[in-house]
Amino acid sequence: MGSDFKSIPLIDISPLVEKIDDPNMANDKDLLQVVRMLDDACREAGFFYVKGHGIAESLMKEVRDVTQKFFQLPYEEKLKIKMTPQSGYRGYQRVGENVTKGKPDMHEAIDCYTPIEPGQFGDLAKPMEGSNLWYGSNFPPLFVLDIISQSTILFDLPKYPSNFDSLLENYINLLRDLSRKIMRGIALALGGPVDAFEGKTAGDPFWVCRLIGYPVSTDIPEEQRTDTGCGAHTDYGLLTLVNQDDDICALEVRNKSGEWIYAKPLPGTFVCNIGDMLKVWSNGIYQPTLHRVVNNSPRYRVSVAFFYESNFDAAVEPVEFCRERTGGFAKYEKVVYGEHLVQKVLTNFVM
């Protein structure tokens, strides 16, 4: 939240997408112009749109469409993959189960995370060990190990759209690579080497994908209703890419003066924003921006948010070249990303 911005910048990142992995890219004028625009956007708004990202608009729409089809299933079907502690906090959340700053959010969602094997990160990741519950009807019944009781739980899977699992896996792989390229641009924008986020920081990045549905407010029982689809918050990790419906204004971003600015849908673009881990790593050069969702539309809204994070066990702290640019000392303490995420997940979850 760096300025009193009135709109969110749009960046054509096609030169970055095409050239950021080229060892000879250092003097490419078009790429360096994108880097400068990323720097301005991260400093001024903490939010930006990207076009020229290389992901087909038809695929973005297909992901939103298949998400909406899932949320149109009968409630009893959706509950077959209900999020629980035993599922590693993966699966379906009904309206009001996600909580932001103590207030129920008026959305339903499927939460997906990088799969975590039992014992992979020791005690750090125990609450989130498991696999995602998105598999379609072509797969056998899914068995998940309850890490508390060591017993096996059978999930009777709902009748998904037939391409749900393969579509999402392909989409997530594409967004992981796109996010990696944007983070390479951000590394250059901060004055570091292009691979500054790789290795111990985000060489094996954890990812989160939330498929979110925002009902029409009048469809929610009055005694359960609040005024926000998702309360004001910042994101946990490095970078978020949001694929939102083309024709419903609901995502709002707060500027320095406290005004809420619409992130109006621009077809074919992703809305991007920076998160808490980038604030720490950059020693505050870049600050995440508060945002919220208020769905005043008379229609159901879908949003698919992809969160590109650091390594799960990364100890994120202000990097030396950012400390040198900000007085020579660390403004933030070291944060273990996995601890930060687990705390947030447990705080935001209500059974």
pLDDT at 38: 98
pLDDT at 313: 97
Query: Which residue in this structure is represented by tokens 């000879």?
Result: 24
pTM of the model: 0.91
Q: Who contacts 20 (Cβ-Cβ below 8 Å, separation ≥6)?
A: 31, 181, 184, 185, 194
Asked if the model's pLDDT at residue 148 lies above 80, the reply is no
What are the start-end ranges of the H helices in the chain? 14-19, 29-44, 57-71, 75-78, 164-189, 276-281, 320-324, 337-348
Which of 54, 103, 95, 163 is CA-nearest to residue 301? Answer: 95
Q: Which residue has the higher pLDDT, 112 or 226?
A: 112
Q: At 223, is the pLDDT very low, low, confident or very high (cuts 50, 70, 90)?
A: low
- Which tokens go with 15? 């030169």
Average pLDDT, the chain: 90
Cβ neighbours, 10 Å, residue 219: 10
pLDDT at 158: 64
- Average pLDDT on 319-346 reads 95
C-alpha torsion angle, residues 303, 243, 102, 109 (rounded to 10): 40
CATH of domain 54-142+155-346: 2.60.120.330
Residue 59 φ/ψ, nearest 5 degrees? -70, -40
- Average pLDDT on 168-173 reads 96
Asked if the model's pLDDT at residue 40 lies above 90, the reply is yes
Asked if the model's pLDDT at residue 213 lies above 50, the reply is yes
Asked if the model's pLDDT at residue 131 lies above 90, the reply is yes
pLDDT at 99: 87
CA distance 230 to 249: 14
| Percent share of the chain, pLDDT over 90 | 78
3-state SS class at 121 = coil
pLDDT at 242: 98
Query: Which one-letter DSSP state was computed for residue 54?
Result: S
Per domain, the residue ranges of the chain are 54-142+155-346
- Which tokens go with 165? 């699992």
- Average pLDDT on 198-204 reads 94
DSSP string, 230-284: EEEE--SSSEEEEEE-TT---EEEE-TTS-EEE----TT-EEEEE-HHHHHHTTT
Q: At 164, is the pLDDT very low, low, confident or very high (cuts 50, 70, 90)?
A: confident
- Average pLDDT on 53-79 reads 95
The answer to whether 168 and 149 are in contact (CB under 8 A) is: no
- For 225-270, write each residue's pLDDT tens digit: 667 899 999 999 999 999 999 999 999 999 999 999 999 999 999 9
Full strand arrangement of the beta sheet holding 239-244 = 10-12, 47-51, 270-274, 239-244, 301-308, 207-214, 108-113, 91-93
Q: Which residue has the higher pLDDT, 182 or 163?
A: 182
Bridge-partner residues for 214, per DSSP? 301
CA distance 184 to 196: 8
pLDDT at 101: 86
Q: Which residue has the higher pLDDT, 96 or 238?
A: 238
* Type of residue numbered 111: D
pLDDT at 147: 40
Least confident of 48-57, 60-69, 225-234: 225-234
Half-sphere exposure at residue 49, Cβ-oriented, CA atoms within 13 angstroms = 18
pLDDT at 349: 77
pLDDT at 291: 97
- Average pLDDT on 19-23 reads 96
CA distance 141 to 136: 10
The answer to whether 139 and 165 are in contact (CB under 8 A) is: yes
